[in-house]
Amino acid sequence: MMHTSPFSGRTIASLALTGFLSLAIAQQGTARAQENEATAGNADSADRQRIEMIIREYLLENPEIMIEVQEALQKKQQAEIASRQQETLQSSHEQIYAAPYQIEIGSDAPDAIRIVEFFDYNCGYCKRAMDDMHRLLADDNKLRFILKEFPVLGEGSIEASRVSMAFSRVMPEKHAEFHVELLGLEGPKDGGRAMELAVSMGAEREKLVEEMDNPAIIATIQTTYEIANSLGITGTPSYIIGNEVVSGAVGYDELMQQIEATRTQ
């Protein structure tokens, strides 16, 4: 049930207009006060005090108006965020879906639904969300996950991502396997642990170290930061499914619902 105001929209608008006109008069009084500070200045101060008192008493008597204002503000902000997200999804389409270094797992079918996931190797929720990914891929053979390195949990995460991205160049055929293994490890992940895993899977340490210094790696991470910022993504995991941005480890059911909604669009 929604709590509604006892006043109509027109009444509230009229009161607001009256308040604005009164404030405008007070501001004009301020200009006159500069010419005659001794007299008009005191009058202006008294007018402002009366106006402020009227507004204060009205709001105290009708506090539900503040709820209406807050709801209107939230709707406006949500609309602005949604508009900005759609602009970014269109203008950054290539960087989102075909960026270098990202990990792709799932179907190669042209009509497969692509799910972009922003992840951090030190994100416990991402580790749990990986189970959702495997279950979705097992249940639906027309899905493809695009996993984007989004290290937001400190220097260790950045170094782990750099090793992962270097590994994608040295041993691209095992990149998906490396990702699953590294994300699944217990405890904090950093460059050292990621390097240890990479070498154990057959990568040459020297080649990895050399590739880690590739400026394109840092540039790619920076681009991901910029895209995430434009989309309003601040944490991991976060997803892009169709034209929707989904934040948080929302679970198998909600992801599947969004996937099915995208198919019907």
pLDDT digits (tens, 9 = 90+) for 166-180: 999 999 999 999 999
Instruction: Report yes or no on whether pTM surpasses 0.75.
Output: no
**pLDDT (tens digit per residue) in 228-246:** 999 999 999 999 999 999 9
pLDDT value at residue 89: 86
54 close to 62: Cβ distance less than 8 angstroms: no
CA separation for the pair 1, 172 (Å, rounded): 55
For residue 213, count CB atoms less than 10 angstroms from its CB and return exposed for 0-12, middle for 13-18, buried for 19 or more: exposed
In this structure, what is the dihedral angle of CA atoms 123, 125, 131, 132, given to the nearest 10 degrees?
Answer: -130
Q: Which of 138, 125, 130 is nearest to 103 (CA)?
A: 130
Model confidence at 197, pLDDT cuts 50, 70, 90, reads: very high
Q: In terms of pLDDT, which residue wins out, 112 or 18?
A: 112
pLDDT value at residue 70: 82
Model confidence at 2, pLDDT cuts 50, 70, 90, reads: very low
Model confidence at 41, pLDDT cuts 50, 70, 90, reads: low
CA separation for the pair 161, 151 (Å, rounded): 7
Write the CB contacts of 148 (distance below 8 Å, at least 6 apart in sequence).
Answer: 96, 99, 102, 116, 117, 118, 119, 224
Please say if the pLDDT value at position 84 is more than 50: yes
> Using N-to-C axis directions, what is the helix angle for 124-139 and 175-184, rounded to 10°?
130
Tokens in use for 224?
A: 């991901």
